[in-house]
Amino acid sequence: MKNGWIKVAAGTPRVQIADPAYNAEQIAGLMQQADQAGVQLLVLPELCVTAASCGDLFLQGTLLEKARKAAEEVIEYSSAFDMVTVLGLPLAWNGAIYDCALVLQKGKVLGIVPKTCLNAEERRWYKPAPADSTMIDWNGEKVPFGAQLLFQHQEIAEFTFGVCTGSDLTGLTGTAASLACAGATILVSGYEETEALGRAKQRRAALQAESKRLLAGFVVSGAGAGESTTDQADAGHRLILERGQILEESPLFTKGLTISELDVQQLISDRRACELWNPAQQSACIVAFTTPVHVTELTRSVDPYPFLPAEEELETALDLQAEGLGKRFVHAHCKTMIVGLSGGLDSTLALLACVRTADRFAISHTQILAVTMPCFGTTSRTRSNAEILAEALGVRFATIDMKASVLQHFADIRQDPEKYDVTFENAQARERTQILMDLANQENGLVVGTGDLSELALGWATYNGDHMSMYGVNAGIPKTLIRRLTAYIAARSDNDTLRDVLNDILATPVSPELLPSEGKDSSQKTEDLVGPYDLHDFFLYHIVRDRKTPSKVLRLAERAFQDVFPREVILHWLRKFCDRFFMQQYKRSALPDGPMVTEVSLSPRGAWHMPSDAEVAAWREDLE
């Protein structure tokens, strides 16, 4: 439960129709299994105490009495568990019968929630929930009864759930929305629905849309095994969702438990950041409960590459680059796109973006100038790849050796050329930028920046060197996505030369090539210096997009990279990420324009507002 993860389960017991005593035994068995798995909230199907398909037997006093007696046995059984259980039963009260969800814990009934949205057949037996909540008697104790009940953990306020039986969750009554706006981060639903071809697909789509709209976690449990098949069949379909994403889902026609963890802290964070979120002004009836607070073991899948979209979206990413660059190029009345082409990954994608832009805007490839600027650390591999790439794409290519100009600059500022310090490196980066900018003046050109989102997050750029351009076409794309896009283009190319050179560039270690090297590859490897980009992109996504604390990101990273990086390595680079992210904000405050591609952007003009002198101390302390 620490860090906001709540272990939840949707369960489908085997039932016998109109046999509450048998059903109570099956429910108790699932409760025991869920408790052993560390579940804190268990949701069972609609009317599972009796079975949902009893028909006119619901009007029989015998069934109603036996259902209540069986429910009392389950309540007594729950006294052994801290877990909260939600189960369905028919309840007679005040001259009517209600389709209810009973919420119980530790031998007590926390509340009873009657169903609101009834179809024509259900109205044959039940009445809809009354407009206002009230208190009713359950074995001599007064318990809350109504559709607008919120169950809130006393120590973890974010752990607040509401109950929406059946169509109350996605129906037109607005029950789910009212509970979410009143503070429920989790909406639970037991339901009974006839299964048919296509029904499961429709159910998934409806639940995904609603959980995304309400920024909520859903725990949904369908009636199934043992229900009547006189004219229908129930599938026992169980789903756990969060913000539109299905975390876990059962196969159809199964019984048992479906378990995952919901991140209630994240849900609250999303709502705070959502401009359209409108908390309800009216207060729902709050029912307090408590459970021991402990560390929840994570079983949910954690994507180690959160920036990577589905393959069908890769074209959109490339189009976003091209549309942004094309608009800027046309608006500026330029004649040439100028790219510093190192033979590395970032400049390769920038050049590919220029070519795609040219094709979309009917611009000749000869209006693209790729410039390679070898210096002290340039390797034969990258220099060769730059030339081959430019030729394969049909763009103009120029080589400007800048060793002499850099050495002259060293002499001017009295820099020892044998002293391989930050001045030695940054002087080369700034000389490259100066060359590109001056070529742009000669060519009436637009200098297309190559730096990516990952480098911006880490500040891995020379201020007023590769940090600067006239349009940063890669500024919205992290390193992991740059790799994926380049590989995608290579795989789809029917040009053997282009495909081969792109694959070799992908296989080349990332390097700024600013220190002297011997051999085919540079001795200066970026990831040895700043850490693995796989980790940094993971940190960037969860800290910036999801606003998670560093300690929470650490736990997620341990889960995502459990077979790749040990905890101490993840922790080391996470600390480095936090330090660099705060220290290097001043560079991001002076960024050139560039298109937003993923959900994360560090543009200071609208996406990311952060003072350049913010302190990192609190983020560091969170990892202690």
Place of tokens 């011997």: 518
Mean pLDDT of 571-600: 97
Residue 338 placed within a domain:
yes
Together in a domain, 466 and 511: yes
Mean pLDDT of 136-151: 95
Q: Is the model's pLDDT at 133 over the cut of 80?
A: yes
Torsion angle, CA of 194/200/203/208, rounded to 10 degrees?
160
Q: In what order do the strands lie in the sheet with 141-145?
A: 134-138, 141-145, 108-114, 96-105, 84-93, 41-43, 5-12, 256-263
pLDDT tens, residue by residue, 405-424: 999 999 999 999 999 999 99
What range defines the domain where residue 326 resides?
311-621
Place of tokens 């459970």: 291
Together in a domain, 284 and 334: no
Residue type, 30: L
Q: Is the model's pLDDT at 280 over the cut of 90?
A: no
The total of structural domains in the chain comes to: 2
- Please report the pLDDT score of residue 566 as a whole number: 97
Residue 302 placed within a domain:
no
Q: Is the model's pLDDT at 514 over the cut of 70?
A: yes
Together in a domain, 252 and 337: no
Place of tokens 């949707």: 10
Together in a domain, 270 and 336: no
Residue 297 placed within a domain:
no
Residue 161 placed within a domain:
yes
- Please report the pLDDT score of residue 54 as a whole number: 95
Residue 217 placed within a domain:
yes
Cβ-contact 56, 39 below 8 angstroms: no
E runs forming strands in 106-250: 108-114, 134-138, 141-145, 149-153, 160-163, 186-191, 217-222, 238-242, 245-249
Q: Which helix (H) or strand (E) holds 514?
A: none
- Please report the pLDDT score of residue 397 as a whole number: 98
CA 460 – CA 463 distance, rounded (Å): 9
Phi first, then psi: what are they for 151, rounded to 5°? Answer: -105, 115
> If DSSP codes are grouped into helix, strand and coil, which group holds residue 154?
coil
Q: What is the CATH number of the domain that holds 345?
A: 3.40.50.620
Mean pLDDT of 452-480: 97
Q: Is the model's pLDDT at 520 over the cut of 70?
A: no
Q: What is the CATH number of the domain that holds 171?
A: 3.60.110.10
Q: Which helix (H) or strand (E) holds 88?
A: strand 84-93
Percent of the chain with pLDDT over 90: 90
Q: Is the model's pLDDT at 599 over the cut of 70?
A: yes
- Please report the pLDDT score of residue 516 as a whole number: 85
Together in a domain, 358 and 263: no
Q: Which helix (H) or strand (E) holds 102?
A: strand 96-105
Together in a domain, 158 and 15: yes
Best CA proximity match to 90, nearest among 20, 13, 161, 195: 20
Together in a domain, 183 and 317: no
Together in a domain, 475 and 585: yes
Best CA proximity match to 272, nearest among 185, 161, 206: 185
CA 587 – CA 460 distance, rounded (Å): 10
| CA dihedral (12, 13, 14, 19) positive or negative | negative
Q: How far is CA 213 from CA 277, 282, 329, in A?
A: 10, 20, 38
Query: Where does the pLDDT of residue 2 fall: very low under 50, low under 70, confident under 90, or very high at 90 and above?
Result: confident
pLDDT tens, residue by residue, 80-95: 999 999 999 999 999 9
Q: Is the model's pLDDT at 282 over the cut of 80?
A: no
Query: Where a domain ends, among 233, 256, 289?
Result: 289
Place of tokens 């949902």: 52
DSSP 35-71: HHTT-SEEE--TTTTT-S--GGGGG-HHHHHHHHHHH
Residue 299 placed within a domain:
no
Query: Where does the pLDDT of residue 512 fall: very low under 50, low under 70, confident under 90, or very high at 90 and above?
Result: confident
- Please report the pLDDT score of residue 489 as a whole number: 98
Q: Is the model's pLDDT at 173 over the cut of 80?
A: no
Q: Encode burial over 540-578: b for 16+ CB neighbours within 10 A, e otherwise.
A: bbbbbebebbbbbbbbbbbebbeeebeeeebbebbbbbb
Q: Is the model's pLDDT at 513 over the cut of 80?
A: no
Q: Is the model's pLDDT at 57 over the cut of 80?
A: yes
Q: How far is CA 499 from CA 345, 362, 366, 392, in A?
A: 14, 24, 21, 9
Query: Where does the pLDDT of residue 522 fall: very low under 50, low under 70, confident under 90, or very high at 90 and above?
Result: low
Together in a domain, 325 and 268: no
Together in a domain, 398 and 333: yes
CA 404 – CA 401 distance, rounded (Å): 8
Residue 303 placed within a domain:
no
Together in a domain, 243 and 328: no
Q: Is the model's pLDDT at 285 over the cut of 70?
A: yes
Task: List beta partners, residue 620.
Answer: none
Q: Which helix (H) or strand (E) holds 193?
A: none
Higher pLDDT, 98 or 3: 98
Residue 294 placed within a domain:
no
Q: Is the model's pLDDT at 69 over the cut of 90?
A: yes
DSSP state for residue 544 in the 8-state scheme:
I
Together in a domain, 136 and 245: yes
Q: Is the model's pLDDT at 526 over the cut of 90?
A: no
Phi first, then psi: what are they for 68, rounded to 5°? Answer: -65, -40
